[in-house]
Amino acid sequence: MKTLILLALVAVASAVCYDGYQALRVEPANELQLDFLNTLKNELEGKISFWSQPRTTKRPTDILVQPRFQDDIKELLDAKQIKYSVMIDDVQSVIDSQARSEDDVKIGADFDYSMYHTYEEIQAWVFEITAAHSAIAQQFQIATSTEGRAINAVKISTGGIGTKKAVYWQGGIHAREWVSPATVMFITKSLLENYGVDSDVTEILDAFDFYIVPSLNVDGYSYTWTRDRMWRKTRSVNSGSACRGVDPNRNYEYEWGGEGASTSACSDTYRGPNAFSEPEVAGTTSFLLNANQEFVCFIDFHSYSQLWLAPWSFTARAILPLDKDDHDEAAAKAVNALASVHGTDYIYGPSARTLYAASGCSEDWGYVTLGAKYSYVVELRDTGRYGFLLPANQIIPTGEETYEAVKALCKHMVEEYK
Ligand SMILES: [Zn+2]
């Protein structure tokens, strides 16, 4: 009986509440100010949360601060003459305002792309969309998460003679970046619906096989729906620590454990005990390496910042890849096509030099180990007005513009590889 009561209590335990939490946009202007922010980050690990890392003066750093530290943090920033502004005044009120009405949820044949969907709905969508386009699409389970959830994938193949070159896209590696799975689903259905309708799409799907994972970090994603909207990492248990989770985008084997990845299990950028410790990362990468196809494109969709980033991610100091000019040319086509839809501006360039260094990342692995020449990390909308809490009414516009961007990139690849 006692056990039953305990279980019931656990089940109703309240979710993490962000009442009064502010998101501050901080703009370090020089190395001294950056150093100070890094000291703050190290000393207040777990008390304040950095939504972006303080490693460059070229871009702002966004920090989530709980109410009781707000005055102190602002005083410290003022004392160091570091410019800041309040980006979101009350994070919980934004979360609350975005709660969907369960009566409005549409799945199955009426799947509503203009709302955010749960883990279960996304995985079911993989079955539904492939069944609806069964002549050219199939579903399969690409990996299983730490907590035993299925990670489902879509394969698009229009057949033909011989083995085609292949494209791999994934969304949702970071749990709280909800617009990523939503966008990956939108562009996938747009490609499927336009095969045989739009001559560019027909040419693209006839040229390449596609493997698409809408939601990779399924445990983390589920957790953002039930317990903590701001969760980023996986949900694995770290031995010797009360802190859960590994940053799956610091867990890839290529240059694992270098710059911009933490050795602390409590950090949001924890690299994990070893490369590929996370089954979500290990499972998908091993599938790709064993797929017996030549991959020419690898895209990992994130949010937010509106960036189209190419290798290298692991350092800003290495000589850039020999393919750099081609990376830029194709990225320029993608972001121009993207901007033509709703006027949304993206910046493109090598990751570490454009944003900051992060080792053990998907994009470097995709480029070097998988050998996909066009390997990118894409940071979707916005630039910080809502950050990870992008309102659902921006899903479709984000999908529409990203669809044009990937079409332009794929057309570039069709030209190159035909
Ligand atoms: Zn991310």
CATH code of residue 297:
3.40.630.10
Between the CA of 276 and the centroid of ligand 1 the distance, in Å, is 17
For this structure, is 379 an active site residue? yes
In angstroms, the CA 25 to CA 301 distance is 23
Is residue 366, in this structure, part of any structural domain at all? yes
Same domain, 144 and 48: no
pLDDT in tens, 148-188: 999 999 999 999 877 899 999 999 999 999 999 999 999 99
Residue 6, domain member (yes or no): no
User: Which pair of tokens denotes residue 21?
Assistant: 């939490």
At 347, which helix (H) or strand (E)? strand 347-350
Task: Give pLDDT, residue 14.
Answer: 58
Cβ atoms of 194 and 201 within 8 Å: the answer is: yes
Structure-derived torsion over alpha carbons of residues 99, 110, 129, 147, reported in degrees to the nearest 10: 30
- Rounded to the nearest whole angstrom, what is the distance from the C-alpha of residue 176 to the centroid of ligand 1? 8
Query: Based on the domain organization, do 50 and 118 belong to the same domain?
Result: no
Same domain, 221 and 370: yes
Are 187 and 126 members of one domain? yes
Residue ranges, the chain, pLDDT below 70: 1-14
Range(s) of the domain holding residue 38? 22-97
User: Any bridge partners for residue 374, and if so which?
Assistant: 297
Q: Which of 97, 130, 161 is the last residue of a domain?
A: 97
Domain identity same for 55 and 81:
yes
For residue 79, the CA-to-ligand 1 centroid distance in Å is 31
Compute, in angstroms, the gap from residue 303 CA to the centroid of ligand 1: 6
Last residue of a domain, one of 56, 74, 97: 97
Q: Pick from 291, 281, 286, 285: which is nearest to 210 by CA?
A: 291
Tell me: do 197 and 314 sit in the same domain: yes
Distance 215 CA to ligand 1 centre (A): 12
Q: Which residues surround the ion ligand 1 when the cut-off is CB under 5 Å?
A: 174, 302
Q: Is 22 exposed, middle or buried (0-12, 13-18, 19+ CB in 10 A)?
A: buried
| pLDDT computed for residue 45 by the predictor | 77
- Does residue 7 fall inside a structural domain? no
Same domain membership, residue 220 and residue 87: no
- From 121, 280, 363, 379, the catalytic residue: 379
Beta-carbon contacts of 334 under 8 Å, excluding residues fewer than 6 positions away, are: 308, 346, 348, 405, 406, 408, 409
User: Same structural domain for residues 169 and 41?
Assistant: no
Residue 9 lies in a domain: no
Q: Report CA(80)–ligand 1 centroid distance (Å).
A: 29
Quick one: 66 and 124 in the same domain?
Answer: no
Q: ω before 312 within 30° of 0 (cis)?
A: yes
Residue 237 included in any domain: no
Number of domains in the chain: 2
Q: Which H helix or E strand runs over 48?
A: strand 48-50
pTM over 0.85: yes
185-210 confidence digits (pLDDT tens): 999 999 999 999 999 999 999 999 99
Residue 370 forms part of a structural domain: yes
